[in-house]
Amino acid sequence: MPAKLVVTDLTHHYPDEYTGESVHALEKINLEVNEGELVTVVGPSGCGKSTLLNILAGLLPYREGNASMDGVKIQGPSSERGVVFQEQAILPWRSVAKNIGHGLELKGVPRGEREKRVSEFIKLVGLVGFEDKFPHELSGGMKQRCAVARTLCADPAVMLMDEPFAAVDAQTRITLQEELNRIAIATKKTILFITHSVDEAAFLGDRCFVFTARPGRLREIVNIDIPREKRIWADMNNDPRFIEARDKIMRLVREEVLVSNA
């Protein structure tokens, strides 16, 4: 089966209209994400991770190389590709349930079916009892759950996540990672997950793509051969497969951070 997302020779420069000096963000990226796979991407800050994600989301036009989904060139946003960012733009004037159901409402899905789907995803992300709360009444972790549920509820084929758990506290973060693992099992979505946390990359990824310092290139692919059902934080520090993957990713990222600081 051909891969769900295919990126070939993708290079990106950000033009600078004032100085004329452009920023070389990505250099000849080649990668594939298979259907139903969760791939994590790590690399030093500024190496072009968000640039790649924004191109895949269709939010950033590009000229050199190609990015495609199901063999079709990505040229703009699509409801087939749901995006979750670090700072979530959930709508402050809508309740949790109304935020989650917003996409379905825009699509004209009838109220009965909408409510059924919304309550399903509220359960999946652990927000039962908070349906009628507004964003200002939620913790950071709950806002991220709401954002993940809203994206899932629109049923995209692919989820693109850009450091979605980076702004929450450590305990909540662990819970959200375990929740996303359960969601991956339950929905079998294709997920590209960007993070700067090596632990997170090793815990969540079927594979981890390690990027070089800017301009970002794909330095190495690390396979993490742990069944999803076994991915529970309490067990990870005794799992040699996790330790090996994490240490390898850590070593590669450290080398690249040294390059970017040189």
Ligand X SMILES: Nc1ncnc2c1ncn2[C@@H]1O[C@H](COP(=O)(O)OP(=O)(O)O)[C@@H](O)[C@H]1O
Contact footprint for ligand X (CB under 6 A): 14, 23, 25, 43, 45-51, 214
Q: How far is CA 112 from CA 21, 121, 148, in A?
A: 54, 15, 22
Sole window of 42-50, 64-72, 203-211, 224-232 interacting with Mg ion (rule: CB under 5 A): 42-50
* Rounded Cα–Cα distance for residues 98 and 177 (Å): 24
The helix (H) or strand (E) run that includes residue 65 is strand 64-69
Beta carbon nearer to ligand X, 27 or 179: 27
Beta carbon nearer to ligand X, 214 or 246: 214
| Amino acid residing at 114 | R
Matching residue, tokens 């310092």? 213
Q: How far is the CB of 19 from ligand X (least distance, A)?
A: 11
Beta carbon nearer to Mg ion, 193 or 242: 193
- The secondary structure of residue 34, as a DSSP letter, is -
Question: Which residues on neighbouring strands pair with residue 41, listed in sequence order?
Answer: 194, 209
Q: How far is the CB of 255 from Mg ion (least distance, A)?
A: 20
With CB cut-offs between 5 and 8 Å by kind, which of ligand X, Mg ion, none does residue 45 bind?
A: ligand X
The correct pick among 38, 42, 50, 152 for binding Mg ion (CB under 5 A) is 50
Beta carbon nearer to ligand X, 12 or 102: 12
Q: How far is the CB of 47 from ligand X (least distance, A)?
A: 4
Q: How far is the CB of 50 from Mg ion (least distance, A)?
A: 3
Question: What are 127's two structure tokens?
Answer: 């927000």
Question: What phi and psi, each to the nearest 5 degrees, are found at residue 42?
Answer: -125, 160
Q: How far is the CB of 49 from ligand X (least distance, A)?
A: 3
Kindly state the greatest CA–CA separation across the chain.
Answer: 58
* Rounded Cα–Cα distance for residues 72 and 134 (Å): 38
Beta carbon nearer to ligand X, 45 or 75: 45
